[in-house]
């Protein structure tokens, strides 16, 4: 058995920089990876999906340019689109391998499990360390639908292996993965239908967000089936048939399953070192990322942290500070995120409902995109900007933006909230005309009305 100063299980976006930092400081770091370096973000998450959406949204914008007087014929070279996606993914992956090797991190390509107190084994390699960080992430949660198992259905894990554009696509699920990839294939030419169990898309968001995205998807020719469940799946002669609870049958050459995530903790044998899991298999952690096992920490979505790369990377920064004796926690940050549909959704902080549930005397103000000069000029008038304000302190508590490049605009609110700024500061700001950002002081002025 060998020894190290740090063991990292999983090479996600939090574990990689932590292992690299340890090694560059002259300490021995070992990282276990059962699959490919980079975790979900680089291999089947952020990187390939956004490269894929770059092509899809370019095609979609061209088709929708008729309202600007531009009538385009769009020819999609789908194999070239996917070849580019895989090329970018491969380049990023190679960069991570080089980074770890240059730092001096020992990489063990094997599934890791605990075999004793602070002892991890993978392949033929066994190592012990005083500090262990679990960074194993999550994977697609596939529902137990009769007939689904054994068919060549897609998840985000194998979606980017597609070589040919499927003429028809059925998507099961109404979350952000379903919407991004479903809209993406629709814009590239697939006839797309989405099965949604509830009454709206992105049901964790405000109802107006769901309604706006439903309108946008329908404009792309996507058929939405609400209050629907796939009760049975059949696959024959290259065609999927999904039978809904209503009895309706949907047929397509491709079936995408995006119904949730599950933690990659099954193989850890966590009990061998005193690490407790919750009832869904996620790792229990304190506000300082500590598990119930001495010297063992967990970061990222395997520990029920929000499933975003920037959160995992910020977990790394905080955990590194904690290990150095600093007083940091996983709660001392303002979190935002984006959904890369078109229009995009940018979210940060609290919604009005969330603020009121906390007992805060709050109010929200909303500005429709159809009232913003730049949006009208560019033909991007679907969506809205919303800000939540504490009536007692005038501080900005949160924002919901739905519109063109809302994932970029929302950073203004992220920084304002982190600075504990008031709506007056935003209202007094002079933003450039004509821009989307120009609407933010206008949004703040609505609070006075």
Residue numbers annotated as active site = 433
Measure the CA–CA gap between 18 and 21, rounded to whole angstroms: 5
Token output for 259: 């119904």
Alpha carbon distance 22, 25 (integer Å): 5
Structure tokens belonging to residue 117: 């107190």
* CA nearest neighbour of 19 among 140, 141, 106, 122: 106
Is residue 178 annotated as involved in ligand binding? yes
DSSP β-bridge partners for residue 106: 30
Q: How far is 256 from 228, CA to CA, in rounded Å?
A: 15
Find out whether 174 is annotated in a ligand binding site.
Answer: yes
285 is in an annotated binding site: no
- The C-alpha atoms of residue 244 and residue 228 are separated, in whole angstroms, by 6
DSSP E strand boundaries for 109-161: 113-116, 119-122, 125-128, 131-134, 138-140
Flag whether 173 is marked binding: yes
- Residue 281 annotated in ligand binding: no
What DSSP string describes 309-363? HHHHHHHHHHHHHHHTT----TTSS--EEEE-SSSEEEEEE--HHHHHHTT--EE
The answer to whether 116 is a known ligand-binding residue is no
184 is in an annotated binding site: no
Place of tokens 């792309």: 220
Determine if residue 301 is labeled as part of a ligand binding site. Answer: yes
> Token digits for 130?
């005083």
* SS3 (DSSP) at 72: coil
The closest alpha carbon to 299, from 276, 319, 281, belongs to 319
Is 175 annotated to bind a ligand? Reply is yes
| Contacts made by residues 269-277, CB under 8 angstroms, sequence distance 24+ | 269/113, 269/114, 269/115, 270/114, 272/113, 272/114, 272/115, 272/116, 272/117, 273/114, 273/116, 273/117, 273/118, 273/119, 273/132, 274/117, 275/114, 275/134
**Distance, CA of 27 to CA of 140 (rounded, Å):** 35
Can you say which residues are annotated as belonging to the binding site for NAD(+)?
173-180, 260
Can you say which residues are annotated as belonging to the binding site for FAD?
50, 301
Can you say which residues are annotated as belonging to the binding site?
50, 173-180, 260, 301
């Amino acid at each position: 058995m060998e020894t190290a100063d740090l063991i990292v299980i999983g090479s996600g976006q939090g574990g990689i920089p932590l292992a690299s930092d340890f090694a560059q400081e002259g300490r021995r770091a070992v990282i276990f990876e059962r699959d490919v370096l980079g975790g979900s973000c680089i291999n089947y998450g952020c990187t390939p999906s956004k490269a894929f959406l770059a092509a899809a949204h370019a095609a979609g914008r061209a088709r929708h340019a008729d309202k600007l007087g531009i009538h385009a014929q769009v020819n999609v070279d789908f194999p070239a689109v996917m070849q580019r996606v895989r090329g970018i993914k491969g380049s990023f992956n190679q960069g991570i391998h080089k980074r770890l090797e240059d730092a001096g991190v020992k990489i063990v390509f094997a599934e890791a499990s605990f075999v004793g107190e602070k002892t991890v084994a993978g392949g033929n390699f066994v190592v012990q360390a005083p500090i262990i960080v679990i960074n194993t992430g999550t994977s697609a949660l596939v529902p137990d639908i009769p007939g689904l198992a054994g068919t060549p259905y897609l998840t985000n894990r194998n979606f980017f292996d597609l070589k040919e554009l499927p003429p028809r696509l059925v998507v099961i699920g109404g979350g952000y993965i379903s919407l991004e990839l479903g809209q993406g294939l629709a814009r590239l030419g697939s006839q797309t239908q989405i099965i949604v169990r509830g009454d709206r898309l992105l049901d964790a968001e405000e109802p107006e967000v769901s309604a706006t995205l439903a309108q946008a998807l329908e404009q792309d020719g996507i058929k939405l089936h609400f209050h629907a469940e796939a009760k049975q799946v059949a696959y024959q002669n290259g065609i999927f048939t999904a039978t809904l609870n209503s009895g309706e049958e949907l047929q397509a050459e491709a079936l995408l399953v995006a119904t949730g995530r599950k933690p990659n903790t099954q193989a850890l044998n966590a009990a061998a070192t005193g690490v407790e899991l919750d009832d869904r298999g996620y790792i229990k952690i304190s506000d300082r990322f500590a598990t119930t096992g001495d010297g063992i920490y967990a970061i990222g979505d395997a520990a029920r942290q929000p499933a975003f790369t920037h959160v995992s990377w910020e977990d790394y920064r905080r955990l590194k500070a904690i290990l150095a004796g600093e007083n940091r926690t996983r709660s001392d940050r303002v979190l935002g995120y984006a959904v890369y549909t078109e229009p995009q959704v940018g979210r940060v902080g609290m919604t009005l409902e969330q603020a009121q549930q906390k007992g805060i005397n709050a109010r929200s103000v909303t500005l429709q995109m159809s009232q913003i000069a730049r949006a009208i000029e560019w033909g991007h008038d679907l969506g809205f900007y919303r800000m939540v304000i504490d009536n007692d302190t005038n501080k900005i508590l949160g924002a919901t933006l739905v519109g063109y490049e809302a994932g970029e605009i929302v950073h203004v609110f992220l920084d304002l909230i982190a600075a504990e700024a008031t709506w007056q500061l935003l209202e007094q700001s002079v933003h450039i005309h004509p821009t989307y950002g120009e609407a933010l002081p206008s949004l703040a002025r609505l609070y006075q009305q």
